[in-house]
Amino acid sequence: MAEKILTQKNLVVRHSTVELIEHWAIAVSGLVLLMTGIFELPVAKRYYIITIPGLGWTADFITSLYLHYSAALVFTAAAVFHVVYHTARGEFGLLPRKGDFSASIAVIKSMFGFGEEPPMPKYLPEQRLAYAGMAFSILMLIISGLVKTYKNIYAPDISHTVVLWTTWIHNIFFVLFFLAFLAHMAAIALKPNWPLVRGIFTGRVRLAYARHRHPLWLADIEQKSGGTEIDKTGQAAGVETQQENAPSTREKRR
C-alpha cells in the first residue's frame, strides 16, 4: 500500500508509481488511439487537416494504422495489467458501490453551491461510476479491436456478420470513449477537483485538501498503518480526523 500521510510535507500519497504509470500509459495511448482512429476515417483530406503543418501524414491510412497499432499495444497491455495487478492485490476502491448514483448527484450539486458535500473516502462516487463506464468502454474497444486486428492479418474473409458487429461495437464505443474523455477533462475544470490534478502528476495531494474532502480515506490510512508511518504530529492529526469520522468509517466497512 503506497498510501501514506506525509505530515511534515503536508501531503498525502494518493497514487503509487505503478498506478501513475498505468494511468499515463492508458491516457497517452488512448489519446493516440482516438486521434489515429479519427484519421482512419476519410476526414483528413476532406477537412483540410493535411494542410496543417506536421499533419500531412494524416491522409495516409496505413501510417495511421502503424500508430494505431503501436498505441493499441500499450493500451491493451496496460489495461490487462491494471485489472490483473489490482485484482491480485484486492484493490477494488474504484468499483461502484450501492448508492453511488444518488451520492454522485449530491456531490455534483454541492459543487455548484447546493448543499454540503458528505465526507468522502479516497474516490468520489461519481469517480467510481465514471471509472465503470470508462472501463466498460475500454473493454469493448479492446475486444473488438483485437478481432479487427486478427481479421486484418489472418482472416480477411471471416464471417461478414462478425466483422459488422465488431466494427460497429468499435465505432460506437469509440464515440463513447471520446465522450468519456471529454467528461474526464470537464471534471478537471471544476474547481473542487483541481487539487486532484496535482495527484495524477506527482502521486500526492495536499493534506489539507484530503482532510477537508476525503476524511474517510485518511481515517482508513491511519487505521491500516496503525500510526507507524505517521510522525508524531501526523498521529495527532490522524486521531483528530479518525475521531471526527469514526461513525462514517464503520458505516462504510459494514
Partner 1 sequence: MNQKNKTEISRRSFLQVTAGAIMLSGISLPESANAAKSEGLATIIDLSLCDGCVNRKIPACVSICKEINKNKIPLPVEPIPEPWPRKMIEDWSKKQEVFDRLTPYNFIYVHRAEVNFAGRKKTIYVPRRCMHCENPPCATICPFSANHKFKNGAVVINQNQCFGGAKCRDVCPWEIPQRQSGVGIYLHVLPGFMGNGVMYKCDLCFDRINQGQLPGCIEACPREALLIGAKKVIQAVALERVRRMKGYIYGMEQNGGTSTLYISPVPFEEINKTMTKKSGQPDIKMNVPRRMAGTDPLGKMVLAAPVLGLAAAGAAGAWKWFSRRKEKMNKKEGENG
Q: Which residues bind to partner 1, rule: CB under 8 A?
A: 18, 40-42, 45-48, 59, 61-62, 65-66, 69-70, 72-73, 75-82, 84-85, 88-89, 145-146, 149-153, 156-157, 160, 163-164, 167-168, 171
Residues 251 and 216 sit within 8 Å (Cβ to Cβ): no
CB of 148 to partner 1, least distance (A): 8
Cα–Cα distance measured from residue 204 to residue 14, given in angstroms and rounded to the nearest whole number: 5
CB of 163 to partner 1, least distance (A): 5
CB of 157 to partner 1, least distance (A): 5
What is the per-residue burial (b if ≥16 Cβ within 10 Å, else e) of 55-84? eeebbeeeebbebbeebbebbbebbeebee
Nearer Cβ to partner 1, position 166 or 242? 166
End-to-end CA distance of the chain: 22
CB of 61 to partner 1, least distance (A): 6
**Burial of 124: CB neighbours in 10 Å, binned 0-12, 13-18, 19+:** buried
Nearer Cβ to partner 1, position 48 or 92? 48
Nearer Cβ to partner 1, position 80 or 197? 80
Nearer Cβ to partner 1, position 16 or 110? 16
Residues 196 and 205 sit within 8 Å (Cβ to Cβ): yes
Nearer Cβ to partner 1, position 14 or 82? 82
Report the half-sphere exposure of 56 (CA within 13 A, side-chain side). 2
Q: How does DSSP assign 51-87, residue by residue?
A: GSTT-GGGG-HHHHHHHHHHHHHHHHHHHHHHHHHHH
Nearer Cβ to partner 1, position 88 or 185? 88
CB of 18 to partner 1, least distance (A): 6
Per the structure block, which three cell numbers stand in for 222?
Answer: 491511519
CB of 31 to partner 1, least distance (A): 17
Dihedrals phi, psi of 46, to nearest 5 degrees: -60, -40
